[in-house]
Copies of this chain bind each other. A is one copy, B any other.
Amino acid sequence: MMKTSVFIVSLFVVAAKAARNSSCKDILDNSVTRPPSGIYTLEDSRGFQYQTYCDMLTNMGGWTLIASVHENNAQDNGRCTRGDRWSSEQGASSLQPRAENWMNQNTFGNVISATADDFKSPGYFDIKAKNLMIWQVPNDTPLEDWRPASYMRYRTESDFFDYFNGNLFQMYKYFFPIVSNQYSWPADNGPQIPVVFDEGNGGDLVSHFGPSVQQDLTPGYIQFRALNTYLDAFAICPGVKLSESSAYGAPHACFGSTGDNAGTKYCGDFAGWTYSGYGTHTDWSVDKYLIETTFLLFYR
């Protein structure tokens, strides 16, 4: 009977533990040995169960994938279409210059398809976190290759979410809404939080952006709610901060747009990254490698 009892107990323990894991950090903390990176089922604070990816390697692990930002077509008629969920879903509009999905509890996409389409999990607004990590991965990379294929990986270390209620949802909703024509430039630019690089380096990161914007960029930061002088607002400048005098840089170095002041040219998940042509790497346009990148966002 000994063997039977062991079976029962382990089954029960597994079930009981599962119910308490609201983040990959919980999974790590509840494990005796380091669990592998991969897909896990989490349960949010309302009892909703969902699957997402845990990175259990970076800086001792415990990182939860909470979103991906993916541009399925940054060319002319692919801007601000249904594939652009991190900008205004209604396209460029002077009446609705809001990137609403940064500030609400909507969810979309699927962890398994996070590099083929936009993804937003309940973790985005449910998990109470301290730091943000970003991975830059080529579009369509399969999940098992995310880490080896990532060419940039960086993360904050300062527990900055402590000052903004614990996650991006709270930060954008209550501190730095992504709304155009409403805030002052440069006074209302959002915080610029230092990051450390686990893969890649700041010089290489900056080199992928358009030549005309590079002089405005300092790598080693993530900037939130970047504005330009036209008062368009952008959610995240990945791996960089803009100089305070950068009147025009935000749409060309940051993603998550509401821009309406350049017509559709600032509209789309990646805003004005193709302002001077698709992947041309001239003037304000990023190179082809960067425009075909998916940004994976993690909390811990």
Contact = CB atoms under 8 A, between A and B. Distances in A.
Interface in A67-85: 72-73, 75-78, 81-83
A100 interface: yes
Contacts of A111: 48
Nearest to A49: B51
A107 interface: yes
Interface in A36-57: 38-39, 41, 44, 46-49, 51
A18 interface: no
Interface string A95-126: 11000100011111011110111000010000
Given A46-B38, A47-B39, A104-B140, A93 B112 contact: no
A216 B82 CA distance: 37
Given A8-B7, A75-B93, A112 B81 contact: no
A110 to B, nearest CB: 5
A143 interface: yes
**What number of copies of this chain does the assembly contain?**
3
A30 B112 CA distance: 26
Contacts of A110: 107
Nearest to A110: B107
B116 A112 contact: no
Contacts of A72: 89-90, 100
A113 B105 contact: yes
A44 to B, nearest CB: 7
A259 interface: no
A142 interface: yes
Q: In the complex, which of the residues A47, A49, A95, A142 has the most CB atoms of chain B within 10 Å of its own CB atom? A: A47
A162 interface: no
A5 interface: yes
B117 A113 contact: no
A1 interface: yes
A244 interface: no
15 contacts: A39-B46, A46-B112, A46-B144, A48-B51, A73-B89, A75-B90, A77-B91, A77-B95, A77-B96, A78-B90, A83-B90, A105-B140, A105-B142, A106-B117, A107-B110
